[in-house]
């Protein structure tokens, strides 16, 4: 009887975990997307407001050179 009760409790806990797993995964994905958007906004502010046009041209040339040498 104790084994049956034990496995019943484990089954209920496993069912609850599976039911809440989608909430956890979607929350994690939403957090990752929010972080990526926030990082992109910070990079764009840095790129357009803090770099001079010559520095932007240099960064573009470095990216182009790296792409060419792959």
Domains held by the chain: number: 1
Query: For every residue of 7-70, which 3-state class applies, written as one string?
Result: HHHHHHHHHHHHHHHHHHHHHHHHHHHHHHHHHHHHHHHHHHHHCCHHHHHHHHHHHHHHHHCC
Query: What's the whole-number mean pLDDT along residues 58-68?
Result: 90
Residue 65: which pLDDT band, with cuts at 50, 70 and 90? Answer: very high
Position 39 scores a pLDDT of: 97
Full-model pTM: 0.60
Full domain range(s) for residue 22? 2-68
On the question of pLDDT at 69 being above 90, the answer is: no
What are 29-48's pLDDT values in tens digits? 999 999 999 999 999 998 88
Position 51 confidence tier, pLDDT thresholds 50, 70, 90: confident
């Amino acid at each position: 009887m104790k084994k049956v009760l034990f496995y019943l409790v484990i089954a209920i806990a496993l069912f609850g975990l599976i039911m809440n797993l989608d909430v956890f995964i979607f929350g994690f994905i939403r957090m990752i997307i929010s972080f990526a958007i926030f990082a992109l906004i910070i990079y764009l502010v840095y790129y357009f407001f803090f770099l001079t046009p010559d520095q932007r041209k240099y960064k573009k040339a470095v990216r182009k050179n790296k792409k060419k040498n792959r």
